[in-house]
Amino acid sequence: MRYFALCWPVIVLALSDIISKFWLLLGYDLGAKGRVTILPFMDFILVWNKGVSYSLFTSDSQLARWALVALMLGLCVFLSRWLLSTQNSIEKWGLTLILGGALGNSFDRIYHGAVVDFVALHYNTFHWYIFNLADVYIVMGACILAYFMFFLQKRQ
């Protein structure tokens, strides 16, 4: 029962990421619309990321694609085991966010062959990298884990 209870938040996060991408691809047809201004500092634009964060190590090779899938799924197994072993609720939330995001992006890489990125933040001529909900979950989870490890864990 404990394992089942820990799975739901991860599944919800991964599905929210996957559903948002399918809606933008199929329902909204973002690929045909090009860049769409949402706010003065935020646009939606379709980008297929065949690399890792910030499109580093981009490759069109199927070997690279499946190597990244294997790496991500291995990371998901590691994070799942960590999540199941921790007793701290803050640490659990951080791991849940990271795991949900990792599964969402892994699904993209398996299904589409690349990660679907679509949120572009900018200010004047400065443009941040293009990202998706899964990336937001991963960054939030990493911040929670860093806070836990550097500030809270020392007190316990």
Q: What is the pLDDT of residue 143?
A: 97
- Does the model's pTM come out above 0.85? yes
Rounded to the nearest integer, the mean pLDDT of the chain is 91
End-to-end CA distance of the chain: 28
Query: Which one is catalytic: 17, 43, 108, 135?
Result: 135
Q: Average of pLDDT values for 138-156? A: 87
Cα(52)–Cα(54) distance, integer angstroms: 6
Q: Which of 17, 43, 108, 117 is catalytic?
A: 117
Letter string b/e over residues 109-136, b meaning 16 or more CB atoms within 10 A of that residue's CB:
beeeebbbbbbbeeeeeeeeebbbbbbe
Share of the chain above pLDDT 70, in %: 92
Known catalytic residue at 135: yes
- In terms of phi and psi (left: phi > 0; alpha: psi -120 to 50; beta: otherwise), the region of 35 is beta
- How large a percentage of the chain has pLDDT more than 90? 75
Number of domains into which the chain is organized:
1
Pairing of strands 36-39, 42-49: antiparallel
Alpha helices (H) along 23-152: 30-33, 62-85, 89-111, 133-147
Active site residue 117: yes
Query: What is the residue range of 42's domain?
Result: 2-155
Average pLDDT over residues 138-153: 92
Residue 35's pLDDT is 96
Average pLDDT over residues 84-112: 94
Say how far apart CA 94 and CA 103 lie, in whole Å. 14
